[in-house]
Structure 1
Amino acid sequence: MKLQHYKFSVAPMMDWTDRHCRVFHRLLSRRALLYTEMVTTGAVIHGDRKRLLGFDKSEHPVALQLGGSEPGDLATSARIGEDFGYDEVNLNVGCPSDRVKDGRFGACLMAEPGLVAACVAAMKGAVRIPVTVKCRIGIDDQDPEVALDVLARAVVAAGADALIVHARKAWLNGLSPKENRDVPPLDYDRVYRLKAALPQVPIIINGGVPSIEAAKQHLAHVDGVMLGRAAYQEPWRLLAVDPELFGEAPPHASMKDALAALEPYIARELAGGTRLHAITRHLVGAYHAVPGARAFRRHLAEHGVRPDAGIAVLREAVAMVEERAAPVAAYA
């Protein structure tokens, strides 16, 4: 995968970046690299693969994030992901939840760089697509100056194509996963120093990036920026990605146009038995801070959950919003 593909991405987020969310985000940016929610190797190998891994062809480029720590299982899962058509496979070494820790994957693997390297090597040996790693700058009492360097050099030596670094520690003891997203201080400079130390390795920064303007500032120091909550909670920001970061027109000139373009997908999904709310729950931030946004959210919340809810519910909600005349400029 070319370096340009790493320039901007939307973070993998549990319960959020499912296939419906990704189709919506793709209508806002052609260029953003999209990620699945983390899927465990056990689920990939033994679960309903079509349900867990199936995605719409419009989502490309799209990456599969895996959770696991057994090299053989990760190799098998990576190969399955490649066969499904994913453009990249990513190893999660950053999630701090207790469930992940108990399963010996996620952020706790920061303490086992040799194992992470073995996992990367096994995945690289199994697929032709890029293999990347998403990690923290450290965990618990680790010194980030040492821990991040050791992990990064180990996975790069094992063949990792890029490293995505959430620029804060994960505290595995004493903080909840939610607290781990905010409480440990961000240290962007640590990620910048990693890039300076590894100039030939694509380094992508993640964590607390609030806007596309902030992303542009980070790109002066690293190869790519990954947006998480800002992209999900205020998806209108993605309309600025292509013009601001790539010098190209967005897929649609306004959020209203993007939501209209989503209708054929919604119709196909409804015909296949998907409930409208499964899709529209990802749209509630579409008009954040725009007149009528509250009415838009309320209408989707009240009517989108009905068993018989159809596209008309979304159209009615959109009609309650005063669309900005120049949304891309305003949202940039």
Structure 2
Amino acid sequence: MKYEGKTFAVAPMMDWTDRHCRVFHRVLSRTAVLYTEMVTARAIKHGNRPQHLDFDARENPLVLQLGGSEPEILAEASKIAEDWGYRELNLNVGCPSDRVQGGNFGACLMADPPLVASCVEAMRKAVSIPVTVKCRIGIDDQDEDADLQRFITCVSEAGCSTFIVHARKAWLQGLSPKENREIPPLNYERVYRLKQSRPDLRIEINGGIASVADSLAHLAHVDGVMLGRTAYQTPWELASVDPLYTDEAAPVATRREAVEAMLPYMEEHLAQGLPLHRITRHMLGLYHAQPGGRIWRQILSTEGARHGAGIEVVKKALAAVEEQAARVADAA
């Protein structure tokens, strides 16, 4: 591999990285590590397990992100997930939303490293697959290198050897989740220093990275990079992952090929009664900043959301994009 041992991942994003999104992302990259939306351990224990856990085998390599703070329930959910076919688990210690804090999980857990360590230890004892942690560089006034080092040391002693670190701290009060992704300043250097001080651990970085190409600069300092909103809102970025990280060609050479690769999947799920827009909503950004991008979004958003919409809507949108692109090319 071009970057031996380095990884590229798409971040877990609530309401975005569902199973249909992940299949689309896998069409664009064979090697990107994909994450589920966060699923609470209690939901797995008490809820609709197929709804929370089902995935398509083509999504692998895939990580299930769990939320929770009760070691016994996390251990039980981890075992269920392993039996379901997941190859890796990730504990969310980074989400700052009020709802997540209300459940006593997410970023607020950074204030209690021994509890996180207990959760990780229980999860690891329950399964044979890797257990990782996604966290922030700090919370509230716990915003120094020493605070992050204490957290990492405590949790690593419980057996966690991989940390995905969002390079912004989180304010637990006063900022919305959106504001917590934008207002606290990025501090990549703190993550770099963490890796320097703990070369025995695998440290991956997340937060504010604008493109797959930009992610490469971080690989001199850390073991991997995770993109979130950029990967979702401009998904064609993912087609550059394999060439840049592995020297292998992308699975598809054009956006048209990406759309065509999704058509059989769409037909399969439409036959099962799934509305078309549940899949195509994840593809709206495919033609971002391209001629015809606006009409692509319009057709999929309006006609694709109608009851009974089928793949003819996608084919219509694709034809409209290419017609617009041809007009632009002729005028040039």
Partner of 1:52: 52
- Structure 2: unaligned runs, 5 residues or longer: 327-332
Partner of 1:329: none
Partner of 2:175: 175
CA distance in 2, matches of 1:30, 1:112: 37
Partner of 1:239: 239
1:98-131: per-residue Cα shift (whole Å, max 9, x none)? 0111110000000000000110011110111110
Cα distance change of structure 1 residues 308 and 4 upon mapping to structure 2, 3 Å threshold: farther
Deviates further, 265-274 or 146-155 = 146-155
How far did residue 161 of structure 1 move?
3.2
Cα distance change of structure 1 residues 171 and 87 upon mapping to structure 2, 3 Å threshold: same
Alignment of 1:172-321 (within 5 A): 172-321=172-321
Contact 1:5 1:33 in 2 (8 A): no
Count of residue pairs brought into register by the alignment: 323
Report SS of the residue matched to 1:319.
helix
CA distance in 2, matches of 1:183, 1:252: 36
Output the amino acid matched with 2:78. Answer: A
Following TM superposition, the consecutive aligned residue runs of length 4 or more in structure 1 with deviations greater than 3 angstroms are: 3-6, 322-325
Output the amino acid matched with 1:59. Answer: E
Alignment of 1:36-47 (within 5 A): 36-47=36-47
Contact 1:233 1:285 in 2 (8 A): yes
Report SS of the residue matched to 1:242.
helix
Alignment of 1:68-87 (within 5 A): 68-87=68-87
What percentage of residue pairs aligned between the two structures are identical? 60
Deviates further, 147-156 or 44-53 = 147-156
Cα distance change of structure 1 residues 171 and 291 upon mapping to structure 2, 3 Å threshold: same
1:233-291: per-residue Cα shift (whole Å, max 9, x none)? 00000000000111111111112101101111111111111100000000000010000
- Structure 1: unaligned runs, 5 residues or longer: 326-332
How far did residue 6 of structure 1 move?
5.8
Contact 1:87 1:130 in 2 (8 A): yes
CA distance in 2, matches of 1:111, 1:324: 53
Partner of 1:330: none
TM-score (norm. length: structure 1): 0.95
CA distance in 2, matches of 1:237, 1:272: 30
1:99 aligns with 2:99: yes
CA distance in 2, matches of 1:173, 1:14: 20
How far did residue 202 of structure 1 move?
0.9
Contact 2:143 2:169 in 1 (8 A): no
Partner of 1:116: 116
Partner of 2:143: 143
CA distance in 2, matches of 1:19, 1:271: 17
Cα distance change of structure 1 residues 269 and 5 upon mapping to structure 2, 3 Å threshold: farther
Partner of 1:328: none
How far did residue 5 of structure 1 move?
7.1
Contact 1:135 1:164 in 2 (8 A): yes
Partner of 2:329: none
How far did residue 143 of structure 1 move?
2.6
Contact 1:110 1:147 in 2 (8 A): no
Aligned Cα RMSD in Å? 1.4
CA distance in 2, matches of 1:28, 1:5: 21
Report SS of the residue matched to 2:90.
strand
CA distance in 2, matches of 1:97, 1:6: 30
Report SS of the residue matched to 1:96.
coil
1:72-100: per-residue Cα shift (whole Å, max 9, x none)? 11111111111111121000000000011
Q: Structure 1 or 2: larger helix share? A: 2
TM-score (norm. length: structure 2): 0.95
CA distance in 2, matches of 1:303, 1:293: 16
CA distance in 2, matches of 1:79, 1:139: 30
CA distance in 2, matches of 1:163, 1:218: 15
Partner of 1:160: 160
How far did residue 144 of structure 1 move?
2.9
How far did residue 145 of structure 1 move?
0.8
Output the amino acid matched with 2:137. Answer: I
Cα distance change of structure 1 residues 285 and 244 upon mapping to structure 2, 3 Å threshold: same
CA distance in 2, matches of 1:235, 1:22: 11
Report SS of the residue matched to 1:135.
strand
Report SS of the residue matched to 1:163.
strand
Report SS of the residue matched to 1:283.
helix
Cα distance change of structure 1 residues 324 and 209 upon mapping to structure 2, 3 Å threshold: farther
